[in-house]
Amino acid sequence: MRNSFLIASREFMDRWTSKSYQLMLVVGPILILVFTYFLLKFGDQGKSSLRVLIADPTDLFGNKITSNPTRAVEYSFYTTYLDFEEFRDGNRFKEFDAFVEINEKILNNKTVKLFYRERPSMEVKIKLKFELERRVEEIMIDQFTDLSIDKYRQIKQPLNIDFLNVYDPKNQAENERGWVGLFFGAIILLFIGLFGMTILRSTSKDKSNRVVEVLLASVRSSELMLGKIIGIGLSAVFQLLVWAFFIIVGLLIFKEYIFTDIFDPSNYEGMQFATDVKNDILLNSSASRYNMFIELIYHRINYGVMLPVFFMFFAASYFFYASFFMTIGATAGSESDGQQFIIPIFLLLFLSFYAGFEAIYAPESFLAVFFAYFPFTAAMTTLINVSIGVTTSGIFQIIFSFLFLLFNAFVFLAIAARLFKNGILNSGHRLNWKTIFQWLKKQ
Amino acid sequence: MIHIDQLSKSFNRKPALSDVSLTIPSGQIYGLLGPNGAGKTTLIRIMNQILKADQGIIQVDGKLLSANHWKDFGYLPEERGLYKSMNVNDTLVFLARLRGLTKYDAQASVRFWLEKFEISSWAKTKIEALSKGMAQKVQFIAAVVHQPNYLILDEPLSGFDPINVELILSELKSMRADGKTIILSTHNMKSVEEICDHVALLHKSKLIAEGKVHALREKALNGEFIVRFSGNMIALANALWTEFELIDTKEIGENRFQIVVRQRGERTFEELASNLMGKLKLEAIEKRLPSMQEVFLELIAKEEVKNEE
């Protein structure tokens, strides 16, 4: 074990001193934060600063839009006729970002034109549509019916059907949370893919530069294999932790200093009201989903359970997949050989995503249950199940799934050790299944 | 002492070693000779525990070879290999620690060897920046850095210039003087004659000869003599008459020659001397020991004939 530790340390230091690793350590989280920044910036664009002029020559709206305005749009009224050219070129209108043309036909054709200087974000469009539509509704109720506005709203409200599982009537297991599990699962798969290839390349390199014969004269092949897997795995975990640290710090800075409005729930009060009336457009809007994810990520995921399960499955899946990458690296005739064997492994990695969708959309289906135990997909499926919510029976399922994955990791590491031992000193051949089976049978 | 008993190994049903038994005495330089594919590298890899034998055992100082012996063995493989991206010092410290040295001892030992080979200035140089000869030196140090009792070297002199060949040979002799046992596989017969005490000759997976170098050469004596004299070649022809055959002639000065003659029939060294005396001005007569190259070729040829029969 001492030698495995020495080899693991060397592998770790090899990555650590590699310029590309150091670069990715810093550049990786920066790229993610820059990407997130632009995502938030884009989503935030014009939200609190859009100034809209309502050109309402007949004073149909009565200088009023809503009694509960959102912060995203600021309305002003202009009760004289205004055409878009005058708005575009007139100096006194420069302060406005858009104007809405209201005329008396609106009550018949329910159509208005909105002229903008810069295309508003989807979120702002939805708010504008929502608020103008509600104002037009109020006017129409007043003019054409004897109903009160509250009564009308009550009538208009669509039938709400709650689909509830008889085994989970309180709907504790919410599918939306599953996306967080999918995200965590994707991180595992990303790191397995990246560092699996590192294992393969490192083994092939040791083999091609012949250092492996020197090493095998002082360590057992299984010690060498384990040392390499652990060393490269530690560098993966270290990179993951550094990334997590930088990203968390970055997101906190975003929250506290840059995008304070986005994380303020009061910002979404109007939108929340909109969901109450089941406005379909709003329900399907990116803004609504965005709000939902902030809610999910910050409030509704049990990280006390999620993180330990994440690291357990991360480690077990890494060892499991590493055995395959190590085997290919050790048995391939050259560094370029073995490509044909990588494709099936990556296909199995991608199968995890399919398993993830199955777990989100049909968590009780046969396939979803199968994927929870299938070692190639267990990490992804289990993390989704955990993020959705764990019941008592679910805990046993997770434990069994983990133990089964661990068992498979040991079995495949043992197989990999045999292939490693028999293949590592052979070079220049073309790897094929026949050779693999021969080496597998050989003691 | 290493005792190898009935060792066999095959790859895909092709024998690489067949029932090989030999004893390697301690404190000696032991040469493993044989043509390519004879099984030398397989034997070396089994001794280094890189491969497992199908049959047979190896005992080191009376104990079965095991992982406990890793620290007692040093190995220089034929195909050299080091981590190219590591520097010389880190590589050697890492390999020394794998052989059981503590970090402190490993660093001290690496310093000692780098100074001894006058390459301390390379300590921080990356392996990939070294020339082939420089890398060979580092690889040699990697094999000896942990002061092993048994040193196994596969073609240790290949890739070295004549100066470094001398350096390595003198180092090997010095290690032998310190009581270390050195096992080397080589095709360089001159170095075998120069430094090996014992040799074993492998051919087609079998051991066909084993013994002390001098004894093997003596055994292969073929009745040839080296004669140095002053005089002329006509007088020599008269002296040899039909009893000795002239094999080789070399002029080594003005009217001075060195010849090689081979006896015919039952003629003896004394008869040659008495034939030449008085007819030529003799400087020296000696039995010519066959070179290891000749011994090697003769033994292989004999084995081939035996196999054909």
Provide ipTM, 2 decimals. Answer: 0.81
Give the start-to-end residue ranges of the domains of chain A. 2-40+174-441, 50-156
Confidence of residue A264 (pLDDT cuts 50, 70, 90): low
Q: Token pair of A227, please?
A: 């040392």
Percentage of chain B modeled with pLDDT above 70: 99
Alpha carbon of A406 to those of A197, A209, A344, A378, B92: distances in Å? 21, 33, 21, 11, 36
Tell me the per-residue pLDDT of A322-344, one tens digit each, with 9 for 90 and over: 988 888 888 877 767 777 778 88
Cβ A6–B98 below 8 Å, yes or no? yes
Element holding A50 (H helix, E strand): strand A50-55
- State the pLDDT at residue A169: 63
Tell me the per-residue pLDDT of A165-212, one tens digit each, with 9 for 90 and over: 676 666 555 566 677 778 888 888 888 888 888 888 888 888 887 888
Q: How far is A7 from chain B (nearest CA, A)?
A: 8
Percentage of chain B modeled with pLDDT above 90: 34
- Compare CB distances from B81 to A6, A14, A209 and report the shortest one's residue: A209
Cβ B95–A18 below 8 Å, yes or no? no
| Class of the CATH-defined domain A50-156 | alpha beta
Name the DSSP letter for residue A181.
H
A213 touches chain B (CB under 8 A): yes
A335 touches chain B (CB under 8 A): no
Q: Token pair of A440, please?
A: 């597998």
Secondary structure of residue A139 in the 3-state scheme = helix
Query: B2-218 adopts what CATH topology?
Result: Rossmann fold (3.40.50)
- Compare CB distances from B98 to A14, A219, A425 and report the shortest one's residue: A219
- Compare CB distances from B85 to A14, A215, A218 and report the shortest one's residue: A14
Q: What's the whole-number mean pLDDT along residues A133-157?
A: 86
Nearest CA in chain A to B46: A217
- State the pLDDT at residue B110: 95
Query: B222-287 adopts what CATH topology?
Result: Alpha-Beta Plaits (3.30.70)
A215 touches chain B (CB under 8 A): yes
Cβ B95–A214 below 8 Å, yes or no? yes
Closest to B86 in 3D by CA, of B121, B141, B135: B135
Could you give the CA distance from residue A43 to residue A308 in angstroms, rounded to a whole number?
33
- In the sheet with B224-230, reading across from the earlier edge strand, the strands are B244-253, B256-263, B224-230, B281-287
Cβ B94–A10 below 8 Å, yes or no? yes
Least confident of B77-91, B133-147, B151-165, B265-279: B265-279
Q: Tally C-beta pairs within 8 A across A and B.
A: 60
Give the start-to-end residue ranges of the domains of chain B. 2-218, 222-287
Q: How far is B9 from chain A (nearest CA, A)?
A: 12
Q: What's the whole-number mean pLDDT along residues B121-149?
A: 90
B-chain residues near A424 (CB < 8 A)? none
- Compare CB distances from A214 to B52, B75, B85 and report the shortest one's residue: B75
Closest to A53 in 3D by CA, of A22, A25, A79: A79
Q: Token pair of B48, please?
A: 């280094």
